[in-house]
Each structure stands twice: as structure tokens, then as C-alpha cells.
Amino acid sequence: MPHEHHHLHEHHHAPASLSAVFILCIALNLLFVAIEAGVGFAYGSLGLLSDAGHNLSDVFSLLLSLFAIQMAKRRGNKRFTYGYKKSTVLASLANSIILLIAVGGILIESVYKLRHPEPVSGEAVSWTAGAGIVINGLTAFLLMKNQGHDLNVKGAFLHMAMDTLVSLGVVVSGIIIIYTGFTIIDTLVSLAIACIILISTWNLLKESLCLSLDAVPESVDLGEIEKAVSRIPGIESWHHLHVWAVSTTENAATIHAVIKDVSEMNGVKHALKHALAEKGITHSTIEFEFSGCPCCDKDTCCYERE
């Protein structure tokens, strides 16, 4: 039974520039952590030291995404025939879990502050958060370009965007505290931000988990693929269509196509590969079967039988 495997060579590997962006983001955030921790020690500020620890988790998130990008570039071997591309999916799943843990931390801290209100220095809060906006905002901006088509990068982007939003909320609450003395606003803003982050993170978690289970990626419309395959001349019927993600940027598919005339096989193969490529499938394996097999009385080739 003819068996065709197609592997598009225009892979969507993360370009070297993306790795450079991550390295720059990591360096910026490490510098910010060092400065914030230094100021915290100098002034004996537990708040600054705690925030420095939180920002250190951002560095870990960025390192995780960078590690996955580098792993995805490695060649396949006899044990991992697709290489390590799936690590980008695992990294996005890990980042979504980290984000949810962070949201949980914000909620717990907010509830504690509501029950045990403490005096807050509006000036200290605003200046510290202002620095966080610059660093986290710049990092999120650098990642924004690539987050639309790579779930791994999206996880890192959401993490930094979350921190930027938190810092912005803290600046606003700090200004309100300076002019009104309404210290509870700090907690209320934190609660509002936590809810926003939870909504954004849920979609990332759901898609990452689905890709981990080899579900059809959200970027692929299976119905459109089915229509495109059915419109290809020479294909009498098809079955066993499976689509899954090899990585956060590459998709694969297998399909059995039934044709009547063996002389049409090459033409059908190229048309089918082109149709799948247009729908976002970078790897395709096509298995051909023939109707009206001359060696038996079955409707399709006897080699199809399992």
C-alpha cells in the first residue's frame, strides 16, 4: 500500500533573534531584582524584598521559555523522533500554572490585608511600582510581537504583562493613598487585577493542556481541512484524519485517502499536501488506498484490512 510522508522544510523554528530577545529580557529583570533587593536591604523594607523574590520568579518563567525554544531546535533521535519540540507546549503549560499560583498568592495576600490593614507609604509604593512598570513593560513589549503565533512565548508575555498591570495598579493606588489616605484601595486594586489575570490565564492553561493531550490546535479549523480534502479531484473518500501539535508553532496530520486510479496518485498527493499546508499543517503523512482492488472482491484494496 503506497505510503507518503511529507515534511515541509519551511519550519517555523524560533529565530535566533527571539532567543536574543529572551536573553535581553532575562538580563533586564535580573538587574531589576538585584537593584530592588539591594534597596530593600538598605532600607530594611520587607515589601521590597518580597517583590524582588516575586520578580525572580519572572526570571525563572523567562528562562523556562528560553530553554524550551533551545530544546525545540535540537534534532530528533531514535528515541525522540520529532526532536524536543513538545517542550514548548510543556513550557507554556508550566507558565500558565505559575501564573495561577501567582494569582492565588495575590488573592491570599489581599484577603489578609483586608482583615489586617497596615499603614502604607504611598511614595515608596509608587516609586517602586514605577520602576516595575518600566522593566516589566519593556519586557512585555519585546515579547509582544511573537506571542500571537507561539503559545510558549504567549505564556512568558502574559507573565510579564501581568506584572506590568500589577505595577500600574500599585502606582494608581499609591497616588490615591498620597492624596486621600485611603489605604484600602491598595487591596481593592490587587483583587481587581487578580481577577483580570485569572481570566487571561485560563485560556492559556486550557490550550496548553489540550495541546499536551494532542488535541487539534485552536489555530487549526478541522472542518475547513475536511472540506478542502473533499474538494480535491481524484479522492473518492478519506478517513483516519488526525491533527495534533508537534510544538507551539508546528502542526502535524495523518490521513488515509482512497483513490481509484494509481496514475493520479502523485497529482493527488501534491494537491493534498498543498491543501494541508494552507491550513497550517507543517508535517503531513498521507496513506493511499485504492478502490476496486483487482486482487480481491472488496471495495477497497485488500492491504487496507487490519
Pair 231, 167 in one domain: no
Cell 525572580 sits on residue: 56
Beta bridge partners of 255: 286
Please give the average per-residue pLDDT across 103-132, as a whole number.
Answer: 72
Cell of 133: 512598570
pTM for this model (two decimals): 0.72
Residue 280 lies in a domain: yes
Q: Give yes or no for residue 216 having a pLDDT over 60.
A: yes
91-113 b/e with 16+ CB inside 10 Å = b?
bbbbbbbbbbebbeebeeebeeb
Residue 151 lies in a domain: yes
Query: 212, 232, 264: which is the final residue of a domain?
Result: 212
| Beta-strand pair 251-259/283-290 | parallel
CATH of the domain at 250: 3.30.70.1350
Mean pLDDT lowest among 63-67, 180-184, 265-269: 180-184
6 or 185, which is more confident? 185
Q: Which amino acid type is present at position 144? A: M
Residue 276 lies in a domain: yes
In the chain, where do the E strands start and end? 3-7, 235-245, 251-259, 283-290
Residue 3 lies in a domain: no
Pair 188, 249 in one domain: no
160 or 127, which is more confident? 160
Mean pLDDT lowest among 155-164, 230-239, 251-260: 155-164
Q: Which amino acid type is present at position 33? A: V
Residue 229 lies in a domain: yes
Q: Give yes or no for residue 123 having a pLDDT over 70.
A: no
How many independent structural domains does the chain possess? 2
**What is the pLDDT confidence band of residue 279, given thresholds at 50, 70 and 90?**
very high
Write down the mean pLDDT value for the chain.
79
165 or 64, which is more confident? 64
| Digit-coded pLDDT (tens) for 2-43 | 554 444 444 444 445 788 888 888 998 888 888 777 776 775
Q: Is 199 exposed, middle or buried (0-12, 13-18, 19+ CB in 10 A)?
A: exposed
38 or 242, which is more confident? 242
pLDDT score recorded for residue 8: 44
Pair 206, 222 in one domain: no
Pair 161, 282 in one domain: no
CATH of the domain at 103: 1.20.1510.10
Phi, psi of 254 (to 5 degrees): -125, 150
Pair 193, 52 in one domain: yes
Domain residues for the domain of 143 are 13-212
Residue 8 lies in a domain: no
pLDDT score recorded for residue 64: 86
Pair 107, 202 in one domain: yes
Pair 23, 163 in one domain: yes
**What is the pLDDT confidence band of residue 245, given thresholds at 50, 70 and 90?**
very high
- The conformational region for residue 259 under phi > 0 = left, psi -120 to 50 = alpha, else beta, is beta
Pair 240, 270 in one domain: yes
Range among 193-197, 228-232, 291-295 with highest mean pLDDT value: 228-232
Q: Do 67 and 22 form a contact (C-beta atoms < 8 A)?
A: no
Q: Do 130 and 100 form a contact (C-beta atoms < 8 A)?
A: no
Radius of gyration, alpha carbons of the chain? 26
Pair 121, 142 in one domain: yes
Q: Give yes or no for residue 252 having a pLDDT over 90.
A: yes
Residue 5 lies in a domain: no
| Digit-coded pLDDT (tens) for 153-176 | 888 888 788 778 777 777 777 777
pLDDT score recorded for residue 56: 78
